[in-house]
Chain A
Amino acid sequence: MSELLDRNITQRTLRKLDDPKPRRTSRERSARYRAGRAIGYIAMIVFAAALLTPFFWMIMSSLKSANEVFSVPVQWLPETFVWSNYVEIWSRSDIITWIRNTLLVSTVVTLLQVLTGSFAAYGFAKMRFRGRDVLFLLYIGTIAVPWQSYMIPQFILLTEAGLSNSLVAIMLLQAFGAFGVFLMKQYYETIPEELSEAARIDGLSEYSIWRKIMLPLSVPALASLALLTFVNTWNDYLGPLIYLRNPDLWTLQLGLRSFVSNLYDTNYALLFAGLTISIVPIAIIFMLGQRYFVEGIATSGLKG
């Protein structure tokens, strides 16, 4: 088995050795290539600026006073930079508690989702048994039901179980979604069956195949699942809103909303300051994690 993986790695190295780049020797061609690349970069930067515009507006608005945020015509820059919004959030709110709760929930949910999702996906993708497809369709079908419509029955259920008003409720709510199962199943299906078959002949159990072959080969999918789950849990507002009454348990999104609004108005400058703070960790995690999306591991070394 390990032999098999070794072969892949050797192939990867080999491929690196005969990288096509050295073939481009003509100077003309490389100049054109460089010009093209420069234009490409410029286009990308313009595009990125377009994507980041609302974020920019949000940061600028977080530096305005409350009544300055929305106006006609739209103000891009604050008249005077008001840093007090950040100071106020940092000193007057329980933001540390919120961040701690959010981090805890997001981490646990991500771990559970990745673990149980990728495990169940193996059953759906590689095992063959009666009722498998129907069960799978059921999984997907439940994604289709808007959460608001079964929120109350679910809330009653968890309250009866004594779990409402606890972080565990939020974790349980998010951790077992069909999304992860579906994503991982689709990815496993791209992994050649020959690998598993060879491993079976080597005497590996299905569980070992999952752990020793499937997991290492599906790093990009695991990374994207982990990241998207983390971000969605981090940004979730409605779930914590329904379940968490105790301010000590509030998550970042919930705490912020309640800190900045009362019956008739919302202080958007303050809200945007808080949201800016809340986006920073996600952006950092994304920056650090995105290279795993393209962590290619050759799976085609073995031809049937």
Chain B
Amino acid sequence: MATSARTAAPPAARKVPQHRPGSKLRRHNTIVGWSFILPNFLGFGLLTLVPIVVLFYMSFTNWNAFGTADWVGFANYERLLTDGSFRISFLNTLYYTVLHIPLTIVASLGLALLLNNKLRGVAFFRTAAFFPYITSIVAIAVVWNLLFSPDSGPINEVLRAIGITEPPGWLTSPEWAMPAVVIVGTWRDMGYYMVLFLAGLQTVPRELHEAARMDGAGVWQRFVNVTLPCLRPTMFFVTVMLTINSLKIFDLILVMTGGGPGQSTSVISQFIYRRGFEENQFGFASSAAVALFFLCIAVTVVQFLWNKKRSV
């Protein structure tokens, strides 16, 4: 059945044209290509790349933000490997990321599909979905803390009502604090990624849907065989951004738990901030930032290759 939908490859898959061989043309291409990138690259290189190169250098020193920085070789990295707090923060960050990515993708894509129409009032719902992202994070923390309250919170009331006699302590329990933060994180971010998915959904050709429907494909089949393949570039973008942003999670942790109870929700960004701005060990903090950078790059490269393989 839905063969016509399946064979209709998404437009994204088309290959960039192979220009005729010739070094002159290649040089022309390089010049034109760079001319596109240059305006952005000037600002980017000067304002972001240069400081980051400095950061890499500082991770090999004992810099304390002032005065001179002495070269200490790999000492910071060695210390990082044996530092118990770093290990805990690292694992907590991974934990958050692994839970947060799939939940947010499902929630935001679901929202985007639901709100990708021209029904009356849809503008209001789209705005409402975006509101958690722009509401003060302090207000978010207070209201969610109330919902998560172990004894009197509505969430645990519901859990008790359905027969769970010992509902979790959420933010007061080391086991449940992180899942609670993930829930709030997903709730807050889904409107943001919904916006990106909404834009992506406009690239799905309607003809393909029509054709698939003619072939008798159901809603789910059309989603899997038409929408998802056409959405791949957007999906790649969202996944990469979501991964990086999850690995960098900071402000939400700070207002929800401050890393506690104990160290049960402390994350890498917080580790970097504490070592840097609270303890002025900027060299050591830089090495943790570099570690985070390579973690992100590794994950991104995997996603990059995976995306390439899928789209060929």
A-side residues, CB < 8 A to B, are 15, 41, 44, 47-48, 51-55, 57-58, 61, 70, 73-74, 112, 115-117, 119-120, 122-124, 126-130, 132, 135, 137-146, 148-150, 152-154, 157-158, 172-173, 175-183, 186-187, 189-194, 197, 206, 210, 220-221, 223-224, 227-228, 231, 235, 268, 271-272, 275, 279, 282-283, 286-287, 290-291, 293-300, 304
Contact = CB atoms under 8 A, between A and B. Distances in A.
A132 B33 contact: yes
Contacts of B22: none
B237 A183 contact: yes
A123 B36 contact: yes
B10 interface: yes
Contact of B289 (A58, A146, A231, A279): A146
6 contacts: A74-B146, A142-B49, A143-B244, A176-B40, A227-B195, A228-B192
B167 interface: no
Nearest to A253: B136
Nearest to A41: B121
Contact of A223 (B30, B142, B199, B203): B199
Interface in B10-44: 10-12, 14-17, 19, 26, 29-30, 32-44
Interface of B: 10-12, 14-17, 19, 26, 29-30, 32-44, 47-52, 54-55, 58, 65, 114, 116, 118, 121, 123-136, 138-140, 142-144, 146, 152, 187, 191-192, 195-196, 198-203, 205-208, 230, 233-234, 236-237, 240-241, 244, 247-248, 250, 269, 272-273, 276-277, 282, 285-286, 288-289, 292-293, 295-297, 300-301, 304
Contacts of A54: 132, 135-136, 139-140, 142-144
B198 A224 contact: yes
Contact of B300 (A140, A173, A268, A293): A140
A150 B289 CA distance: 9
B233 A189 contact: yes
Nearest to A126: B16
Nearest to A59: B139
Given A287-B127, A298-B206, A53 B36 contact: no
B55 A150 contact: yes
A153 B51 contact: yes
Contacts of A138: 49
A131 B199 CA distance: 29
Contacts of B207: 300
A186 B241 CA distance: 12
Given A123-B36, A182-B241, A148 B15 contact: no
A144 B36 contact: no
Given A54-B142, A149-B272, A179 B241 contact: yes
A283 B124 CA distance: 10
Main secondary structure of the interface of B (DSSP, over half): helix
B292 A146 contact: yes
B250 A146 contact: yes
Contacts of A73: 152
Given A129-B26, A187-B199, A290-B126, 14 more contacts: A119-B39, A123-B32, A123-B34, A124-B36, A141-B296, A144-B247, A144-B300, A148-B272, A149-B288, A178-B44, A190-B234, A223-B199, A224-B195, A293-B202
A54 B136 CA distance: 8
User: Which 7 pairs, one residue from A and one from B, show the smallest C-beta to C-beta distance?
Assistant: A123-B36, A144-B296, A176-B43, A300-B205, A149-B289, A127-B33, A220-B199
Contacts of B38: 120
B83 to A, nearest CB: 16
Given A128-B29, A193-B16, A187 B233 contact: yes
A287 B123 contact: yes
Given A119-B36, A148-B272, A128 B19 contact: yes
Contacts of B40: 116-117, 119-120, 176, 180-181
A173 B288 CA distance: 23
B37 A120 contact: yes
A275 B272 CA distance: 29
A62 B282 CA distance: 39
A152 B65 contact: yes
B259 to A, nearest CB: 15
A296 B289 contact: no
B269 A293 contact: no
